């Protein structure tokens, strides 16, 4: 959001070619060379995480692509880690990695494992790498109605990975850290587990599965009602489905 200079590659310790989608108040495309890497800035007067990621994704030309948020700092050897992971899992279309946090909130991968429909929702796109050809040939992109800057404050990651699995792409998780979250800025969308969050969670599950969305809401309410939502599972469930 609102980048005014070219300092982001250094702040994030980027060590490869990169496309930076900058949501701001102007429209321009510029390309710079930074430490022998080609950095393309997409300055667009638009809002929405999914739209921003799609703008970058459609212009990508690498074999393997990483998604990132601007509050991440990459490890010095992340390039080698990603390459080795895809060499180790030669049939992988998508691989999820760990991200370091001072106050851990994300699921920590402890061993190599295949990711299926029963466990993929624990991963966000900021920790995954994809084979660009696999995603392109399946026509997969980010949903424009979910994520920061849209009507539904979160979920674009989940829907993206849902489409990947539905279209037969193979996903793995590996216990290697590729970046650290700086936690240097507040979330632009997360105001806590309020009624809006729960309503958006219900909309997310409906987007994931028209047939089973209420069951997905129910399992979410049963798992998280006391820990996160601070209410009974029945109350959380009702708020998700809109009753």
pLDDT for res 24: 95
- Total-model pTM: 0.92
Whether the pLDDT of residue 243 is over 90: the answer is no
The pLDDT confidence band at residue 50, using thresholds 50, 70 and 90, is very high
pLDDT for res 190: 60
Q: Quick check: 37 and 17 in contact, CB under 8 A?
A: yes
Distance CA 239, CA 229 (A): 11
Domain limits, the chain: 8-181, 195-241
Cα distances (angstroms) measured from residue 164 to each of 41, 113, 192: 27, 17, 28
Residue 31, C-beta contacts closer than 8 angstroms, at least 6 positions apart: 38, 39, 40, 41
DSSP 3-state of 111: coil
Q: Say which DSSP state 225 is in.
A: I
Q: Which fold has domain 8-181?
A: Spore Coat Polysaccharide Biosynthesis Protein SpsA; Chain A (3.90.550)
Nearest to 39 by CA among 23, 59, 58: 59
Q: How many helices (H) and strands (E) does the chain have?
A: 8, 9
Q: What is the pLDDT of residues 178-229, one digit of tens each?
A: 999 987 655 555 667 899 999 999 999 999 999 999 999 999 999 999 999 9
Q: What is the pLDDT of residues 56-101, one digit of tens each?
A: 999 999 999 999 999 999 999 999 999 999 999 999 999 999 999 9
Give percent of the chain above pLDDT 70. Answer: 97
Whether the pLDDT of residue 143 is over 70: the answer is yes
Distance CA 174, CA 229 (A): 30
The pLDDT confidence band at residue 149, using thresholds 50, 70 and 90, is confident
Whether the pLDDT of residue 20 is over 80: the answer is yes
Distance CA 89, CA 136 (A): 20
């Amino acid at each position: 959001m609102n980048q005014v200079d070219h300092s982001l590659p250094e702040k994030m310790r980027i060590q490869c070619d990169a496309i930076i989608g900058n949501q701001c108040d102007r429209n321009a495309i510029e390309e710079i060379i930074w430490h022998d890497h080609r950095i393309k800035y997409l300055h667009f007067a638009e809002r929405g995480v999914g739209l921003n990621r799609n703008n970058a994704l459609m212009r990508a030309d690498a074999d393997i692509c990483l998604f990132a948020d601007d509050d991440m700092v990459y490890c010095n050897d992340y390039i080698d880690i990603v390459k080795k992971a895809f060499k180790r899992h030669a049939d992988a279309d998508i691989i999820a990695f760990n991200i370091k946090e001072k106050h851990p909130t994300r699921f920590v991968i402890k061993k190599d494992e295949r990711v299926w429909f029963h466990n993929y929702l624990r991963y966000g796109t900021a920790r995954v790498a994809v084979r660009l050809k696999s995603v392109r040939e399946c026509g997969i992109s980010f949903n424009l109605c979910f994520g920061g800057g849209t009507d539904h404050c979160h979920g674009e990651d989940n829907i993206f990975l849902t489409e990947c699995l539905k279209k037969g792409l193979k996903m793995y998780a590996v216990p290697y850290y590729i970046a650290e979250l700086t936690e240097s800025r507040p979330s632009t969308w997360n105001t806590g587990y309020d009624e809006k969050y729960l309503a958006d969670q219900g909309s997310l599950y409906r987007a994931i599965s028209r047939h089973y969305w209420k069951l997905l809401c129910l399992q979410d309410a049963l798992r998280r009602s006391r820990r996160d939502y601070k209410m009974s599972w029945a109350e959380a469930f009702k708020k998700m489905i809109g009753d």
